[in-house]
Structure 1
Amino acid sequence: MTLAGAIDLAVTDQLDNAAAAIEAGCSRAIVDVGAVTFFGAPGLNFLSRLAATGPVRLSNIPTRSLLPRLLRAVALDRAISL
């Protein structure tokens, strides 16, 4: 799956729908975050839901992204491959 733009409260419903679909039929997820411009709490909740379902890997993490540091801060780096 590909995420793009600001991952914030405005896309919560879309993330919930995507997570529900993945939970219903996937054993693992690869999430492309190369086009993400902001990653807020709804995105963390989404990744947490995916990690509870099975292995999750993030791809195309921009070099200057703070996302890896954010995942470490909330201990999601243990459940999600970067």
Structure 2
Amino acid sequence: MSKKRTMIIIEPDGRIHKEAFMTAPMVCPYCNGRGGFPIDTPNGSDIETCPDCQGSGEVVAMVVIDWKPNTKLK
């Protein structure tokens, strides 16, 4: 199966700071986009919310870059 890849080139731009990149939403691989799982309870059928996507059916990846000074001794 094909997979989409995104490349981030990490280079400081001007002053150092914290920055974040977020991917576009993707189908949750755990629940296959259903947002939960059917379960049987004493009161009948119900849906257990997916712990990974919390019921949305989608996930995103957040990459955070926190620029810090190099404190390595010379």
TM-score, normalisation: structure 2: 0.23
Question: Comparing both structures, which one devotes a greater share of its residues to strand?
Answer: 2
TM-score, normalisation: structure 1: 0.22
Larger-Rg structure: 2
